[in-house]
Amino acid sequence: MKQKFEVTVNKNDKVKGLCFHPVKSWILVSTYRGELKIWDYRVSALISSFNIINEKGEISDLCIRCASFHPTQPLLVCGGHDKNIHIFNYKTGRKTMTLTGHADYIRTVYFHKDRPWVLSASDDTTIRIWNFQNKTQMVMMTGHTHYVMCAKFHPTKNLIVSGSLDRTVRIWDYTKLVEKMQSSSSSGVASPFDVEQVSMGDSHDNGVNWVHIDEVNEVIYSAGDDRKVRVWKVDTRSPKLNDSDALYGHTNNVCCVVYNKKTDLVISNSEDCSLKVWNRATSVALETFKRSGDKQWILDSHPTLPIFAAGTETSVIVFSLDQMVHKSVTVGNEVYFLRDYDLFSMHLDDLKPTALLRDINKPTQRTSLDTAKATRIIHNVHNPNKNSFLLKFNASKTSDAKLLIVEIDKKTGKATKAQSPATNGTYIGKQKMALVINGHVEVTDTETMLSLGPIADLDKVEDIFQGGVGKFIYRKGNTAVFFDTVTK
């Protein structure tokens, strides 16, 4: 997990709303003191600022708790403590409308992906669907008995998922509403019966602060004041929604949770000032980011890129997950994974982590913490008789990077490590590695560590990956090349 961008907010302010633009390198940020801004996280530049004018004709400083982009149109929507929904055209910089009706703070607002609808959740215990083309409220959904902290449209189905401080996660079906709007014989006027609650789960021991829909694996993640992230299978056939798993590790209220499709990782954050990156398949926390005294409030995951953003008491931070996808590997029924400076194994039958190596490459000075952690674990798939791994450690300078060779005894489970002369590498055979040394690639025997010498005409190599027996893929700049050591 690498930090890509950070911008601080004004003193005594807090980041409350975040949303990545689906195409541009923009992130929308709303704050407790009423700021609404678009930042370009690639070049660290402020793109636009928007103001909400109150009834007195003054710029409002009331909290904007939520904000999101339209998937395809140049629109953004926000809501908060003034109890209104505001829609802006970010090309013109002008507000296009205000939707009124909620009786208390608005917690989340989202556009529908292809219908002219906005979904809002509020402390008035209702969820509402609005038509922003004709500026009207379509449906008000009731059933929650406490603040509705979050409500979202399902990305591919006619469903809405909501979470509330009444401890419940609920699924609502709006198929009838879609059919009514499409019917030529219908009056086109929606009724409360057009959206039905079809399932509800109440496994949280305290209030639910957030829900996130993972349409890839057909699950819902919920973040709760019981310090847990719960996982629910999307099931509308039963009125009882059952949780299938839980992620433990936070020591205070969990504020938010998201899933990154590009990396298959789950990210959560909490009032304990930490955010955690979890392996979705094993429910193990792979890495933790924490700043003392800086509470974490909100997250957003990019819809197509391996990045996510966190909003805290003091700043917005965009993180890259590129390296995280390489930090675990499955060998049979055993998962080997890296967490901070430690190497663990875990059997899929009992899911109990066992530490194999501790404090690998841990620096003595805190300034080098980010670059000292292992970023990749590579298993020798060509040799089933041994559990052999390479652990890659990045550094600010490529020449300072490290590559460790780890052997794990299959009978005792004891792990041993040795320093490699290379800065990068991969396995290409039962007893062969392709190692990157000073930008050149050398084929090396895994047993004797004797090199056959550098491969001719292959220099300035920046990265290398497995490619089969006798084969590897190397990267120079933005170019990736498949290389066969046998035919060459």
| pLDDT score at 21 | 97
| pLDDT score at 15 | 96
Residues 455 and 238: their CA atoms lie apart, in Å, by 61
Domain shared by 338 and 305, yes or no: no
Domain shared by 358 and 294, yes or no: no
| 354 class by beta-carbon count within 10 Å (0-12 exposed, 13-18 middle, 19+ buried) | exposed
Domain shared by 314 and 345, yes or no: no
Q: What's the CATH number where 129 sits?
A: 2.130.10.10
Give residue for tokens 């920046």. Answer: 462
- Phi/psi for 382 (5° steps) reads -85, -10
Domain shared by 235 and 90, yes or no: yes
Listed residues 293, 324, 355: the one ending a domain = 324
Listed residues 267, 293, 324: the one ending a domain = 324
Instruction: Give the dihedral sign, CA 242/330/258/21.
Output: negative
Q: What is the pTM of this model?
A: 0.76
Domain shared by 313 and 348, yes or no: no
Q: How many domains does the chain have?
A: 2
Domain shared by 239 and 384, yes or no: no
DSSP letter at 278 equals: E
Domain shared by 190 and 229, yes or no: yes
Which helix (H) or strand (E) segment holds residue 198: the answer is strand 196-201
Instruction: Give the dihedral sign, CA 165/170/176/182.
Output: positive
| pLDDT score at 368 | 41
| pLDDT score at 119 | 98
Domain shared by 297 and 348, yes or no: no
| 435 class by beta-carbon count within 10 Å (0-12 exposed, 13-18 middle, 19+ buried) | buried
Listed residues 306, 324, 342: the one ending a domain = 324
Residues 178 and 219: their CA atoms lie apart, in Å, by 23
Q: Print the domain residue range for 380.
A: 326-484
Q: What is the b/e burial string over 132-171, where b = at least 16 CB atoms within 10 angstroms of the residue's CB?
A: beeeebbbbbebbeebbbbbbbbeebbbbbbbbbbbbbbb
Domain shared by 274 and 296, yes or no: yes
Per-residue confidence of the chain (488 residues) as pLDDT tens digits?
788 899 998 878 999 999 999 999 999 999 999 999 999 999 999 999 999 998 888 999 999 999 999 999 999 999 999 999 999 999 999 999 999 999 999 999 999 999 999 999 999 999 999 999 999 999 999 999 999 999 999 999 999 999 999 999 999 999 999 999 887 666 667 888 899 999 999 999 999 999 999 999 999 999 999 999 999 999 888 999 999 999 999 999 999 999 999 999 999 999 999 999 998 888 888 889 999 999 999 999 999 999 999 999 999 999 998 766 667 888 888 888 887 788 988 887 777 888 999 988 777 655 444 556 677 889 998 888 889 999 988 765 656 678 999 999 988 889 999 988 898 999 999 999 999 998 999 999 998 889 988 898 888 898 899 888 999 999 888 788 999 998 76
| pLDDT score at 183 | 77
Domain shared by 281 and 342, yes or no: no
Domain shared by 334 and 305, yes or no: no
Domain shared by 310 and 332, yes or no: no
